Structures are given as structure tokens and as C-alpha cells.
Structure 1
Amino acid sequence: MGTLYFVELLDQHPWFKVAAIAASAGSAGKTYEEAVQGRWKLSSPIPEGVRNIVIQDASKVNEVADQVDFTLCAVDMKKNEVQALEEAYAQTGTPVVSNNSAHRWTPDIPMVIPEINPGHIEVIAAQRKRLGTSTGFIVVKPNCSIQSYVPALHALLDFKPTKVVASTYQAISGAGKNFTDWPEMLDNVIPYIGGEEEKSEQEPLRIWGSIINNEIVKATAPLITTQCIRVPVTDGHLATVFASFENTPSKEEILDRWRQFKGRPQQLSLPSAPKQFITYFEEENRPQTKLDRDIERGMGVSVGRLREDTIYDFKFVGLSHNTLRGAAGGAVLIAELLKAEGYIQSK
């Protein structure tokens, strides 16, 4: 579903427009409307500006790259195939912003949440040398589940979190599904999502890592353990979080950090950036997935139920929109950051 959301988000975007759409050879030659027939799962109609764009063969890298200033990549392929395809586009001098997981652990490819680790894009210089290009590169977006709790923890890093327990309750759109094509999720909870817990435990450490010898080296703390559960909601990943700190803050200090937190996208007033990145709800029954996932056009993070814990120092609930902040919207925001910082330019 990544391409669907990219198309929707880029419709009327103030900086970017869709110049070309590429997919597998089986879709090449069809119009976009023909290619997504029966698979357009969004409530809004297909944007007029892309309906009649003819799909190109993504494997014809030079032909596609010649038509665009950068690419947003969301493909359903094997890991090694995704890696090769993205590197091929980068080697044409074309920046790649990827929604795929294939390059999340490539040492010189930054995995970015723009408000949290924008400085990691500095490793692009080393990556360009490896790929043999002066203008191309790859930047990736992290897993959608970590957006629900990592921003709230990041705002508290000065207090040195040491141990974190996070359980995520994840929407079916995270699996590219809706209730029509996944009816067994109605009135059901599945306590397992393949590979998700390892991602949720390890990717935050890479986000909080440092550039050492032209590679991103993951942080060693905090220790994170997770459980990831599929629940019967359309969109929105909710997390329950327990955390202990080396320097335990007060509740008031935590709330103040959340209210005051701003990142590079807010400083630059990027088009997709939420004005208030972290919103705290005082009500005991918030945030709620259905009510609050669309806060700040789906690009904000909601937090609530902060209280002291009997085993850990504090516990709270976090919520983010998995297909917007956690997927396509997050990738578009990365592209905006890269453009604002001079990494994406017109060819």
C-alpha cells in the first residue's frame, strides 16, 4: 500500500510532483488507474494528476532515473533485490528515499526520523564514495511500530533511560490489509507479527546511534524488550510503555519535555511537519486509536496516561499513525528534510 499513500500525499504537495511511476514488468505499460484497479484501498479517489500516467518498468533504471530528481521507493521484492535496485538508482546520481526495510542496517545508509536523528544524513558523504556517485544516495525510514514510543523516549534522553518495556498494538494496514481482504481479523487479536519484535527492540538503538568511522554505530542503551500484537483496527499503532532512568525525572519534567520538544522539521517549517510533534492528553482514556491517530494530519505523536510505576519509574501510552507518520508520510518528510538541507536538487 506504500505507493498508494505516496501518490495521495504528493497530490498538491507544495514542493514535489509525481513525474514518473515505476513498478514490475507485469504492470509496465498500464495506466496507474489500470494498475491499481481493485487495489485502491484509500477513502479518497485516485488523484487526477496520476490516473493516466503510464507505469514504467522499474528495472529499466536509467530510463526512469532520467525523468526524476529523486525517487520514493516502496516495492514488494526480496531483500537482496531491493538492495540492488535502490543502489542502482543511487548510482545514476538519483537520491532514493526508501520505505523498505532492506537497507535499514547497511552501515553507511542513514535510517531517519527527521525530528530525532537528522544529523545521521551526514554519513551520506561516505555512502556516495562507496557507491561511486557525487549526487546519488539512499536514506531509509524505520519500522512503523517504533514511531509510537521512540519520540516520547527521545525527548527524555537527558535523563538517560536504562530499561524500556514496550508492547505495541498494531493496525491491520501495517500488513497492507483492510477488513475486506482480511476478514479473520474481525473480532480477533493475533499475538504475533513476524520479525516485528526484533525490529522494535533494535531499530531505536540505531536511531540513537552515532557516526563513527563513516558508519552508523547503534547505541548500547537503553535495554528494550517488546511484544507486538495485531489488533482489529484500520490504522494506528498504539504502545504501552514502561521505562526506568539513570536520572529519574519528575512527572512535571517529563510533561514539560514533551510539550517543548521540537526537531529540525519544526525549525525548518517543512510542509509535512507537525507543528506540535508530541501532544499529551490529560484525559485518562486518551489517546485512543480512532480519535487521535489523525492528529496533525497523521504526522503527530500522541501520548497519555503518564504515571509512576511500582516496578519501573514511569509508564505511559503512545500512539502514531502507521501509514502516515510511520510509512509514506515519514518518507515524504525525510525527502523534505533532504531538500531543505541541499541533498536533493533539480537535475
Structure 2
Amino acid sequence: MTKLPVAILGATGAVGQRFIQLLENHPWFEIQEVVASERSASKTYAEAVNWVLDGSPPKQVAQLVVKALEDELSSPLVFSALPSDVAREVELRLASAGHIVCSNASAHRMAPDVPLVIPEVNAEHIELIDIQRKKRGWTSGALITNSNCTSMPVTMALAPLLIFEPTHLNVVSMQAISGAGYPGVPSYDILDNVIPFIKGEEEKLVTEPAKMLGKLVGDAVLPLPLIASAACNRVPVVDGHLVNIAVTLAKRPSLDEIKAVWQNYTGSSIVRQLPSAPKHPVI
């Protein structure tokens, strides 16, 4: 099987490194282009990157020459790990040029015609691509986003509970320092401390789950009518967020009924065929 060539934007950052790590030996994709800021451009990836993950960069990727953000790309599929302020322009330019851009950035998540996707939750939202292309005059290009790292587990936990009609949501997060990227939070702020505010995070936890759990009706997603509040905290843990959720359900199921729908939830049959799809999305 010939693998599809892909490019990584923001390849030298912590999120870009995670993309590279996850795509190593992928059965469908092969990294052929790495893109970063001007200070890294024209160097090999091995020379440009300060690898902060376990292990080392894959040998094939380490030998690639880093491209600049303004360079043309040949890969039809692009994974973006850019900061949101940079992603705002670059991602639209690449999508309009015909690339399919899958973005981790928040810049375009809440645009009405941009799918905000957790495949096991709302695979049907990918149909927004047809509306997006028609609206923006794109042909082969597209822009798809994933959610904030804390919105994702909240949404995944709530999806099986939609049959019980959630009405109110209160979320308190304890988020690891890796979520701030590299070099992250100043050590004097985070050591032996909890920082009780993360700029922009609380708004995302209120709006993003509602969009992802909403229904695609016609040419738009109708958000789930959920009254939500959130408090986000940064804690001195390297990896792994903890989220405490209190949810009000209109149908008042028993605890056994809740456990059963979590245990039996599988999501779309199409998604279950993907090579990285978990057998049980909710554990």
C-alpha cells in the first residue's frame, strides 16, 4: 500500500513532536515535510528540534530539511500544531491552495462551517466540509479541527449520556504543565503551587463540547443546549489532565444505567475501522 504523504506544521514544538511520534510507522501516512518558523527553516529537523519527548525523532524525519511557513507544500494532507495566532492565516492559505488541513489550533474551531471533531462522537460533522468548500470556493482543500485537550475527555464522557438529556454541566480541571507547551509555565509560578486560572481555557470548555455534541442540521451544527460553567487550574504535573465533572440529566438514570451506556458505547461503525480507533472509547 502506498502511503499518503503528509506535512507537519509547527513540527519543532512540543505538539508537533507529538504528531511526529504518533505518525511514526502509521499504516496510511508518511511524513514527507516538516514546517517551522524562520529560525528553523533550511536546517535538518535533527539540527532544528529540541526534542522534549521520550526517545528521539524518527530517523527518516530527522533527515528532512525544515521548510518555512511561507514555502509551498506538496503533501495533500497537513497536520497543524501551530500556535493559534500563526495558524489563523497559514491554515486558511493552505486550505485555499488545495490542502486538507487538520488543525490542533483553536483559531478556527468555532467557525460555523469548520468541523470540530472527535470521530467517536460526531463523525457526521465531517459533512461540513462540503458546505465549507461551497461557501469558501475551495475545491480539494478543507479545514478540520480537533478540540481543546480538556474539552475532549469531557465531550467523550458526555456523548454516551445524550440519551439521558444533559441540561447543566460544571467542570473543574486540573491541567498538567505539558498543556502549556514548551517551555511551558515558569518554574517559580508552578512549583509547589496550583495556578487557578488558564487564559482562554474556561471559554473553550463551555463552547466546544456544546458544538461537538450538537446536531448537524442542514448546513450548520445546532449546539447542544447545555448550561455550562468551568474553572481551569494549572497543576505541577508533567502529563495528564484530571477533569471533575458534575452533570444534570433530565431523565434521572440509575448509576447502573450510566455505567452500562459508557461500557457499551462504540461510536460510528465507520470510525471503528480506523487503524488507531480504540475498541472501547470510554474506559
TM-based fold match above 0.5 = yes
Q: How many residues align?
A: 270
Distance 1:224 1:178 in 2: 31
SS of aligned partner of 1:18: strand
Distance 1:85 1:109 in 2: 15
Whether 2:15 is the aligned partner of 1:15: answer no
Residues 302-313 of structure 1 mapped to structure 2, 5 A cutoff = none
Whether 2:255 is the aligned partner of 1:244: answer no
SS of aligned partner of 2:173: strand
CA contact (8 A) 2:101 2:141 kept: yes
Q: Which runs of 5+ in 2 are unaligned?
A: 1-13
What does residue 230 of structure 2 align with? 226
CA shift in 2, pair 1:178/1:260, >3 Å: farther
Distance 2:188 2:157 in 1: 33
Corresponding letter in the other structure for 1:68: S
SS of aligned partner of 2:207: helix
Equivalent in 75, 85, 95 of residue 82 of structure 2: 75
What does residue 200 of structure 1 align with? 205
What does residue 66 of structure 2 align with? 55
Distance 1:126 1:180 in 2: 40
What does residue 5 of structure 2 align with? none
SS of aligned partner of 2:32: coil
Whether 2:259 is the aligned partner of 1:255: answer yes
Structure 1, residues 112-135: CA drift from partner, whole Å, max 9, x if none?
A: 011101111101101112232221
Structure 1, residues 177-235: CA drift from partner, whole Å, max 9, x if none?
A: 47896354222111110111111111111112233452333222x21111111111111
CA shift in 2, pair 1:180/1:101, >3 Å: closer
SS of aligned partner of 1:130: helix
Distance 2:39 2:184 in 1: 27
What does residue 273 of structure 1 align with? 277
CA contact (8 A) 2:120 2:271 kept: no
Residues 311-322 of structure 1 mapped to structure 2, 5 A cutoff = none
Corresponding letter in the other structure for 1:255: K
CA shift in 2, pair 1:190/1:240, >3 Å: same
Distance apart, 1:162 and its partner CA:
1.2
What does residue 45 of structure 1 align with? 56
Larger mean Cα displacement after TM superposition, 185-194 or 94-103 = 185-194
What does residue 323 of structure 1 align with? none
Q: CA RMSD in A?
A: 1.8
TM-score (ref. length: structure 1): 0.74
Corresponding letter in the other structure for 1:19: Q
CA contact (8 A) 1:29 1:55 kept: yes
Distance 2:186 2:88 in 1: 29
Instruction: Provide the identity percentage.
Output: 38
Equivalent in 153, 164, 170 of residue 165 of structure 1: 170
Q: Which runs of 5+ in 1 are unaligned?
A: 280-347
Distance 2:267 2:239 in 1: 25
CA contact (8 A) 1:148 1:237 kept: no
